[in-house]
Copies of this chain bind each other. A is one copy, B any other.
Amino acid sequence: MRPYSQVLDQLRNAGLRPTRQRLALAKLLFENAPRHVTAEGLHGEAQRAQVRVSLATVYNTLHQFTEAGLLKEVVIDANRSHFDTTTTEHGHFFFEDESRLQDIPDGQVELVSLPDLPEGTTVKSIDVVVRLNNS
């Protein structure tokens, strides 16, 4: 839950100018958070909301927001990149038939323990995905 009002500050802190496009995309993303988007999907939404923004800019913006810590990229789907407004650690359901992502409520997918790490490595993230089929 990241109030949209904080977003402007976070853009500034990340050295990102609050352009019309970024603000519009941030609004779509964070006023409806928590949520998951693909570039294509967010672009379509923007168009439907009468926001003129190119697909290239949507891609750039998603990556910039990710670098700024506003989003987390979720690698789950061989065909498409997904982004999540929730950046804290949590698991995902992935509906294979619809290529749709859904958060697993906190506390429902804890690991028994952290595995022994290979020498000279640090954990970047731990991703738990429960892949689901209909029926």
Contacts and interface: CB of A to CB of B under 8 A. Distances in A.
A135 B121 contact: yes
Stoichiometry, as copies per complex, reads 2
B125 A115 contact: no
A130 B126 contact: yes
A109 B105 contact: no
Contact of A115 (B108, B114, B133): B108
Contacts of A123: 130-132
A60 to B, nearest CB: 16
Interface residues of A, number: 40
A122 B105 contact: no
Given A75-B78, A115-B130, A120 B108 contact: no
Nearest to A92: B127
A76 interface: yes
Interface of A: 73, 75-78, 81, 91, 93, 95-96, 102, 104-105, 108-118, 120-135
